[in-house]
Structure 1
Amino acid sequence: MDQHSADNCKCHKQTQPAQQTLSDMDFDRGIWNAAIYNEVERVREFIKKGQAMARDDCDYTALHYAARNGNEQICKMLLDEGKVDVNAVTKGGATALHRAAMMGHLNIVKLLATQPKVNLLLQDECGQSVLHRAALRGQLEVCRYLLQQQPELKLLKDNKDKIAFEYIMENANDDFKLLLKP
């Protein structure tokens, strides 16, 4: 698995504070860290400074981090006040919607999926769609919602020529299997 797949990003090393790189220190002081830790007022200040679409070393935006962590208020603020690009992709091709879907944050998935310019069919560098990511992590309700919004996702193939159905776990319940079966 490459360094940007799913929740496997290795862009920021886990180091002791005394050993932080300049890049890590910028990250900790930036909008991304505030988005991760749901620091609403800090994020609002970054938006006012025009940093809503700032990108870290791996091209993640604050929306990517807020979506992955289920921080709905920050996601709404970034979309409304920050006018961020809901389709912004990381170096690995992931959108904020990919990140919310894999984590099962249905409220965030609904918020992002209903944005006027969202593209539900975007695929990451592995060819995985938001449905692939949700199926891989066993997120039944997210899969159900995504298919209601964009039925074409069911037959979308990734770079391994696999559809989302092929990523559900063997022990997935029958509802899950029926939902994703082509």
Structure 2
Amino acid sequence: MDGPPDAKDLQPFVLSNIQASNPDVRAVRKAWLKVVRMGKEFGKRNILAKEPYTQWVKERVEEIQLPYILKAPALPKTPEPEPILLEDMEKLVTKVKELEVENADLRIQMNRVILENQNLKEERKGKAQELEDSNKRARLLEDQKDDLDHILLGSTSVIRTRKEELKKAEYRICELGRLLDKSLMDKKEIKLDFEAQIRDLREALKKCEEKLSREILQKEEAERNCHHLRYQLEEATRRFAVLESQEDFATLVTSAEIQPGMTYVLQVSTTDEVNTTNFSIKTDNATTRHNVDNHENWKRVLETALPITNLFSAKDWYNSMKTVEAIKDANKRGALHFAAFEGQTEICKYLLEDLKLEIDSRDDDGETALIHAARQGHITTLPAIFSSP
């Protein structure tokens, strides 16, 4: 800054376009950015300006009317009076009046500007107050946010703890679920094993029952065969005895001198110790008794004088002989079993009513008789047994 700048740098120019993309606008902005104000004076920092440059700056400021502080002289200069013509006087008066009018207008404009400035100041104060209030609210919200952050931090730790506990509970539930599934599977397997064992036991029981039924049938068949063989043996013995008894009876009648009008009575007495049959011939004065063998004369007794003569008229002799032999041997209960098995209803009634056989349909003998009658399908025999005392 030794002297004034070059004239080419001070040439005026016109900006037809003030867009930011215009290079002249950028140059002007760049030039104004280099102007540095030191206090109330303009100039660059740390640069010494010499007197020629300073004088040029002052003249340039007066020329373009920029604010620049001029140092007033120590003693003011007294202006020298200059003669003024009357015409110039009138012009000056007119100029003064115009300037006064202009000054009044400027004062009015200044008052308006001052009023607008006051309004702007009030608006600025209001906005400043609003800004302060908003800052207070922001600070309050910031404090609340800090408090909420602390609360959320504590809540986060609590939630994290609860999540860990929840995970442990879920893991425990899964473990219990697996244990439950395992126990259910074990229970199902045990149930299947028990069912299989029950089926096996039932099958074994069924087989045993079938085997027992077959054995019972075989036993009954063997008993029937045994009774049949025994009957055949006894029948052969009986026939042989009948032949002998016919000879004895003829001899007895001849020796007793039987007369017409006599009554022949054969009495059977049965006890637990002795079984005998008394054959007597009744006359007008006396009765002659003779002991006759039971087995030899039993058939003849059933066919002649005793009340049970007609019991076997419609039955086979073999089936009836078992009952007759049981009665003869004082085995009334066995006779009842035989009669029930063969369906001999009249014999059952004879045993229960005439011979006074006392049984109950619920005891062993009555139950056996009922089972025999029911198994053989002898329906008419059942009421005779049921109606017993």
Q: TM-score, normalised by structure 2?
A: 0.21
* Greater helix proportion: 2
Higher strand share: 2
TM-score by length of 1: 0.39
